[in-house]
Amino acid sequence: MDDICVADLHGHPVTYRMLGEGPPLLLLHGITSSSQTWADVLPGLAERHTVIAPDLLGHGASAKPRADYSLGSFASSMRDLLLMLGHERASVVGHSLGGGIAMQFSYQFPERTERLALISSGGLGREVHLMLRAAALPGSDWVLPAVARTGLLGAGAAAGRLLARAGVHPSSDFEGIADGWATLEDPDTCRAFLHTARSIIDLGGQRVDASDKLYLAAGLPVLIVWGAHDPLIPVAHAHHAHDLLPHARLEVFEQAGHFPFRDEPERFVRVLGEFMAETQPAQVDAASVRRLHARRTAA
């Protein structure tokens, strides 16, 4: 059973779940989500690992201050959380927005990154669902909170629960997206969402693309997991990332959408567990990073 804890990071309470023993595994959720999204896989992963699943700043039960919601700031706060918990290094698993943060973490703190797992990750291509691009529309600061206050966003989550009680199980995408957007009824959460979304998305789609830096992960064990029917970020991004990182392990869940770890939790635990068991933690220092830069420049 997981313990829900609270850490004080630079004066802001950050909630996290921690359970299990073994090599540290940091799980980073997506936008509008929280650590609860990992509930189906936490027990299985904790059998062999110390699993740390925070609510990112601006999400879940963590603080929602007027603050920096950039990928770099999120990565730094995760570094600080790990150090506070006594972990110098970790394998980092990121879903959606969390994937972008995980990649940023590996770029900023390569010496602290043992492995990288990208799950339906942002930051690997321009395309993203119109629903997220709408956050960049002029006036969304006023429109989105107004819509949220009507209860329409919460009604989607309620409809999902009613269907479940009737024996009709909506997809993980429906549940995950509806539950996440329902949190935007809270004005502070809505403001944090807009700041976060606009740091990575504009009207044309994702404006933060990590593809040009993926060569820096050449010495890092990488796992890429995607749902073949992802409606938010197309599975083509997974194949593009794999082309750039041919040493990475690619797993496409053919029956899954944007939340493959919720659609097929047992398979996800097995795939991630095998990846952890079959790879060695990266040992990256300043000299090895310089060599990667030099090799890229020479090419």
All structural domains of the chain, each given as residue ranges with its CATH number in brackets, are 3-126+205-298 (3.40.50.1820)
More confident residue, 173 or 197: 197
Which candidate, 99, 95, 91, 86, places its Cα nearest to that of 23? 91
Q: What is the pLDDT of residue 150?
A: 53
Q: How far apart are CA 153 and CA 279, in angstroms?
A: 42
pLDDT at position 106: 94
What is the mean predicted confidence (pLDDT) over 91-107?
96
**φ, ψ for residue 242, nearest 5 deg:** -70, -35
| Pick from 85-99, 170-184, 212-226: least confident | 170-184
Residues 160 and 202: their CA atoms lie apart, in Å, by: 30
Lowest mean pLDDT among 7-21, 175-189, 267-281: 175-189
**Segment among 53-57, 148-152, 164-168, 275-279 with least mean pLDDT:** 164-168
What percentage of residues in the chain have a pLDDT greater than 90?
60
238, 260, 20, 117: CA torsion to nearest 10: 0
What was the pLDDT predicted at 281? 94
What tokens were used for 157?
A: 């989550």
Task: Give catalytic residues, as residue numbers.
Answer: 96, 230, 258
pLDDT value of position 159: 46
